[in-house]
């Protein structure tokens, strides 16, 4: 017997009934995006390695440690499985000149890949939902994408300010960050003997990322470090104030976190994260911000942009942790077919019900005809269906089918096939109540 092959560690199969939760989440996202006027974009899973090196930053953790990169055996090109979605979307907009006629509101759903140690909520293949708004510079758009995420939490049954909390910061503009960077380096150099190896390595290449350290021994140094907020000019302060005013007006609570820097180099001005204390160390559920320089950095004409991304695995874990409602995977009805029932008439009736919007599962009959009615009812009950549709030869000869409730103890009734549309609506209403 051949050796059984298994999935790569950290790259997981998604099987029923769990796959129904994924479909439900994706459908909820798509409905949200339609409400806000966003359009779906789908980019390749494999992109040129240079896209992420140039876009994310050469000294970011993702580029340095986590990318799945390889050489194309056909032409020697350096390729990478996408570790995030924004760079690919910007590349696509540049390549197809998609901003020629004005700004775009876009979203994506799909798998991403990072080479890291798998743990709960953090996998080598994971899935992201992302929204990207390109071509609009105003703080109203920053507020829009944040308000959109707050609306998503409500749609999913999460309590804003309790299950998920918003943290907000501004990274200002390049000149402001440069002044802060110099002050930060001076501060860290004064405490060089207390820095860990990772901080020493980043000290002159990417000191801002040191502020995001999780090392407890460095927290006092980080807390005492110069804050970027103190280096912001009037325009950056005004931009952040406008975002805050919009959130205040709608009633979305937030906390200013001056240490919030995000993990990619392309951000400027507004940055934000939605965090939770329900998932242990994996506290960030969604994050994003403004990245006005990335479009030009990747070869396009200068244009502003803002967006966010969330990890679907982590969000589904959070929904499970807080007991948010999950979709039902049970059919509305289960077809029980008795011996002698004309199969063509049964199948025609089931198709008519499905056309009317009723979810009906048919019991497989096998080579020798239908199994016992008792065993079929046992399967009907296990399916979770609210009703059994009993197809008997005598009833069908009279143009009828018997409907038997399986959950609430009601009485079974015979319904005429000629009035199927009417009682199909009753079935749907009963299962949705």
What is the percent of the chain where pLDDT is above 70? 99
Residues 305 and 339 in one domain: no
Q: Which domain holds residue 82?
A: 18-172+232-322
Q: pLDDT for 207-263, tens place per residue?
A: 877 887 888 888 999 889 998 889 999 999 999 999 999 999 999 999 999 888 776
Calculate the CA dihedral of residues 180, 185, 188, 193 and round it to 10 degrees: 180
| Contact between 295 and 282 (Cβ < 8 Å) | no
- Whether the CB-CB separation of 321 and 277 falls below 8 Å is answered with no
358 and 314 part of one domain: no
What pTM, to 2 d.p., does this model score? 0.88
Q: Is residue 195 situated within a structural domain?
A: no
306 and 352 both lie in a single domain: no
Output b/e per residue, 307-337; b: 16+ Cβ within 10 A.
bbbbbbbbbbbbbeebeeebeebbbbbbbbb
Both 348 and 406 in a single domain?
A: yes
**Whether 354 and 422 share a structural domain:** yes
Domain-embedded: residue 189: no
Are 418 and 279 within one domain? no
Instruction: Indicate if 369 and 309 belong to the same structural domain.
Output: no
**Same-domain check for residues 262 and 387:** no
pLDDT tens digits for range 137-166 = 999 999 999 999 999 999 999 999 999 999
142 and 83 in a common domain: yes
Residue 19 has pLDDT above 80, yes or no: yes
Per-residue model confidence as pLDDT tens digits over 338-384: 999 999 999 999 999 999 999 999 988 877 778 899 999 999 999 99
- Structurally, how many domains does the chain consist of? 2
- 151 with 256, same domain? yes
CATH at 137: 3.30.930.10
Same domain, residue pair 22 and 156: yes
Residue 273: inside a domain, yes or no? yes
């Amino acid at each position: 017997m051949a050796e059984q092959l298994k999935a790569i560690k950290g790259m997981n199969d998604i099987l029923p009934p769990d796959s129904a939760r994924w479909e439900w989440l994706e459908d909820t996202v798509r409905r949200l995006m339609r409400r806000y006027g966003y359009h779906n974009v789908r980019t390749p899973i494999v992109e040129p390695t240079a896209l992420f090196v140039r876009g994310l930053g050469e000294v970011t953790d993702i580029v340095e440690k986590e990318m799945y990169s390889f050489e194309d055996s056909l032409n020697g090109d350096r390729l990478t499985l996408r570790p995030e979605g924004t760079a690919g979307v910007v590349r696509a907009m540049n390549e197809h000149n998609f901003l020629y006629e004005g700004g775009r509101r876009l979203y994506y759903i799909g798998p991403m890949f990072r080479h890291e140690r798998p743990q709960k909520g953090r996998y080598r293949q994971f899935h992201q939902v992302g929204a990207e708004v390109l071509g609009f510079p105003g703080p109203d758009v920053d507020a829009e994408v944040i308000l959109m995420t707050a609306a998503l939490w409500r749609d999913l049954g999460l309590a804003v300010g309790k299950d998920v909390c918003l943290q907000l910061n501004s990274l200002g503009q390049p000149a402001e960050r440069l002044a802060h960077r110099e002050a930060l380096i001076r501060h860290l150099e004064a405490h060089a003997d207390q820095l860990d190896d990772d901080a020493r390595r980043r000290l002159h290449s990417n000191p801002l990322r040191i502020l995001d350290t999780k090392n407890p021994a460095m927290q006092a140094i980080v807390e005492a470090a110069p804050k970027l907020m103190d280096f912001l000019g009037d325009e950056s302060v005004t931009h952040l104030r406008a975002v805050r005013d919009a959130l205040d007006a709608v009633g979305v609570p937030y906390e200013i976190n001056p240490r919030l820097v995000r993990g990619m180099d392309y951000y400027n001005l507004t940055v934000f994260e939605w965090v939770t204390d329900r998932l242990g160390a994996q506290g960030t559920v969604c994050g994003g911000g403004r990245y006005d320089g990335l479009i030009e950095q990747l070869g396009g004409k200068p244009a502003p942009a803002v967006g966010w991304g969330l990890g679907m695995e982590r969000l589904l874990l959070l929904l499970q942790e807080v007991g948010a409602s999950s979709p039902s995977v049970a059919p509305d009805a289960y077809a029980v077919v008795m011996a002698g029932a004309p199969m063509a008439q049964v199948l025609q009736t089931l198709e008519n019900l499905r056309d009317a919007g009723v979810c009906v599962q048919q019991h497989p009959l096998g080579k020798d005809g239908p199994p016992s009615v008792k065993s079929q009812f046992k399967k009907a009950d296990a399916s979770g269906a609210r009703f059994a549709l009993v197809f008997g030869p005598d009833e069908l000869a009279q143009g009828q089918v018997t409907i038997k409730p399986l959950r609430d103890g009601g009485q079974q009734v015979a319904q005429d096939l000629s009035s199927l549309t009417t009682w199909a609506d009753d079935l749907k209403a009963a299962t949705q109540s």
